[in-house]
Amino acid sequence: MDPSHYAIPLAPIIFFIVIRLVFRRQNTLRHVAGPPSPSWIFGHILQLILPPQYGDYEFRWQDKFGPVYRIKGCFGEDRLLVADPAALQYILNSPNFERGGAGKEHRRMRAALNFGFSAAAVRRYQAVFEKAAEMVSEKLEGSLDTSTNVCPLLSLATLRAISEACLRYTLEDLGNDFVANNIEVMRLSASRSAPQLLLDALSLRFPLWLLRATAKYLPTSAFKAMREGRYLAENIGHRIIRERVDAAHRGVDMDDDLFSHLLDPDVPNNMHLSKKEVVSQVGLLLVAGQDTTANTMAYALLELARNPEFQAQLRNEIHSTLGTSGGGIAYDSMPLLNALIKETNRFYPAAPLLDRVATKDTTLPLAQPIITTTGEQISHIPILKGQFLTLGIGSYQRLKSHWGADAHKFNPHRWLDGTVNRGDAVGIGPYANLLSFSGGLRTCLGWRFSILEMQVILSHLVGRYSFAEVVEETIRPTYLNNLLPIVQSGERAVPLYITRI
């Protein structure tokens, strides 16, 4: 690729960064301890985002400096890496920190979308998840007793589940172009080139509007596939609107469907979305809910393959529960299944790093005081408006103080033997004191959806098949927008030997 292709889109970004650096205020983080910076241009960003395996540096820094420390962003910028539970709790629940996007608009969108993600709404999707699980097992039948990459199958299942539950569309309704492009986006997300990764690292620093404007013109294949994906998702959005409006005119009852609700003229004003906003929700839902859940399930199957004893115990639990349930399965009452799902979310959070920027001067409370480089012990850190913070969700979920001395080990038993139920943890996040689904004002809307989907699909698969590791493959959890399982070839894959029970 000719480097001049990047020059035009990068010029405004560099200009923006230089202006910010020139006009920055006195740094309140200068006495917070942290690792020495390896480079002025990249700071710690490459070590944080692109280590050989996710967490290689981050977890060592946490051991040395504690759950809050200073790192360098690009071009000498100071950033705070935060994994302290009280500080995370404060940031996630405070309007003084944003991720981008207007607060009021965001609250309105959440209120509108929440209709499709309440506990009652999600219970109604169980049959959809069961059909998605059936689809995976039908496809597996063709590749038993050989090494099979479960990632694409699980991605197709989660795409199908969101589409059927939220849009009332089958995969065929989404169209071949959409499904083929979706597979391409998934493939490219695991094989981005160094300039694309650098751009990602840089993009943490500039506002969303500038990123969007720039991304429009980037000539890389990943951005092209993403643009195509957005275009196709918008077409689906327009089609949904046409069909729902038409159905409403014909007096057809759309039966509590999310998108009919979003388009209902009688919904209260504070939840009303314009047609343009409704269209944009289609792409958001398909992207937010597909690979996050698919990768989490792939990691769960991988860990079961590594631990045949736990796998056999879980299979017994599944068989005995399915045998006695008479159809209405109480997934929440299956201790081993839920311990597996919790531990997988703890160990492999789909979004291990989240970024926030302070919208006001404020003070960050700490659960665990820190010693500054001047030897002072502090339990609060002043934060200036405009300060970037990186929320170390992955690091928080490895705190020995919270999860036990073996926090760096995958061990579902910690959820069964009382290690994490001592009651001294700060109540944080929507699920099991984990922050995999974020928390506070931007808590994942689909967390209940995702948990039930995983419960249904994993118990269906583990009940029918046995999973074994492909020993010659090394799988590296790698942070490429999502925590992806990457094999030696650079592909996103969890290859497993699968046999019928």
- Per CB under 6 A, residues contacting ligand HEM are 99, 110, 162, 284-285, 288-289, 292-293, 296, 350-351, 354, 436-438, 442, 444-446, 449-450
Least distance (Å) between residue 356 CB and ligand HEM: 8
Kind and range of the H or E run holding 466? strand 465-469
Half-sphere exposure of 393 (CA within 13 A, CB side): 27
CA–CA gap between residue 432 and residue 289 (Å, rounded): 19
Q: For ligand HEM, which is the closer residue by CB, 220 or 482? A: 482
Compute, in degrees rounded to 10, the torsion defined by CA atoms 188, 189, 191, 195. 100
Query: Which runs of consecutive H residues, i.e. helices, occur in 2-77?
Result: 4-22, 45-49, 58-65
Q: How far is the CB of 49 from ligand HEM (least distance, A)?
A: 16
Long-range contacts of 442-447 (CB under 8 A, 24+ apart): 442/92, 442/99, 442/106, 443/92, 444/288, 445/110, 445/113, 445/114, 445/117, 445/288, 446/117, 446/285, 446/288, 446/289
Least distance from ligand HEM to the Cβ atom of residue 258, Å: 10
Task: State CA 408 to chain mean position distance.
Answer: 20
Q: Which is nearer to ligand HEM, 310 or 449 (CB)?
A: 449
Q: Is 494:298 a contact under the CB 8 Å cutoff?
A: yes
287 three-state secondary structure: helix
User: Toward ligand HEM, which CB reaches closer, 350 or 364?
Assistant: 350
Q: Report the nearest approach of ligand HEM to the CB of residue 242 (Å).
A: 23
444 marked ligand binding residue: yes
Q: How far is the CB of 446 from ligand HEM (least distance, A)?
A: 2
Q: Which is nearer to ligand HEM, 99 or 139 (CB)?
A: 99
Nearby residues of 106 by Cβ (< 8 Å), 6 or more positions away = 441, 442
C-beta of 32 vs 45, nearer to ligand HEM: 45
In this structure, is the dihedral angle defined by the CA atoms of residues 256, 260, 263 and 266, taken in order, positive or negative?
negative
Nearer to ligand HEM, 59 or 449 (CB): 449
β-strand partners of 391:
82, 354
CA distances from residue 175 to 63, 125, 160, 344, 420 in whole angstroms, order as listed:
49, 22, 12, 32, 45
Minimum CB separation from ligand HEM for residue 37, in Å? 26
**CB of residue 323 vs ligand HEM: minimum separation in angstroms?**
28
Taken in order 301, 303, 305, 309, the sign of the CA dihedral is negative
Residue 134 tokens read as 């059936």
199 versus 341: smaller Cβ distance to ligand HEM: 341
DSSP 308: H
362 φ, ψ to 5°?
Answer: -155, 180
Of 156 and 350, the one with the shorter C-beta distance to ligand HEM is 350
Q: Tell me the closest approach of the beta carbon of residue 185 to ligand HEM, in angstroms.
A: 17
Of all residues in the shown chain, the one whose CB is closest to ligand HEM is: 446
* Residue/partner pairs of 432-437 with CB below 8 Å, 24 or more apart: 432/342, 432/345, 432/346, 433/402, 434/342, 434/345, 434/346, 434/349, 434/397, 435/88, 435/92, 435/349, 435/391, 435/393, 435/396, 435/397, 436/345, 436/346, 436/349, 436/350, 436/351, 436/393, 436/397, 437/345
Q: What is the C-alpha separation between 381 and 490, in angstroms, rounded? A: 40
Shortest gap between Cβ of 283 and ligand HEM (angstroms)?
11
**Least CB distance to ligand HEM at residue 210 (A):** 18
Which residues, in sequence order, are bridge partners of residue 377? 371
Closest approach of ligand HEM to the CB of residue 88, in Å: 11
Strand spans (E) along 9-109 = 68-72, 78-82, 97-98
Radius of gyration of the CA atoms of the chain, in A: 23
Q: Binding site residues for heme, as ranges?
A: 444
Q: Binding site residues, as ranges?
A: 444
